[in-house]
Amino acid sequence: MQKNGAKQLRAHQREAFNAATRALKHLPRATVISATGTGKTITAIRIAEHFADSGNVLVVVPP
């Protein structure tokens, strides 16, 4: 699911999105590890949007 006007994911973000969504279909949690400035927040938002209609989404970040 992508809202109108939302930016397209870059190739590395799309790869992370695909890997995470595949994993989360079979596992209760997943971790996306990428370097600083590579768009983890945008990728996480897209993953959360993808699963939002199927139940609760919990995102945990360190303080």
How far is residue 38 from each of residues 4, 34, 52, measured CA to CA in Å? 22, 7, 23
Taking only the tens place, the pLDDT of each residue in 36-58 is 999 999 999 999 999 999 888 88
CA distance 38 to 43: 9
Cβ atoms of 17 and 8 within 8 Å: the answer is no
What pLDDT is recorded for position 1?
47
Q: Does the pTM exceed 0.75?
A: yes
What is the pLDDT confidence band of residue 60, given thresholds at 50, 70 and 90? confident
CA distance 15 to 43: 10
Helical residues (DSSP H) of the chain, grouped into ranges? 11-24, 40-51
Cβ atoms of 43 and 17 within 8 Å: the answer is yes
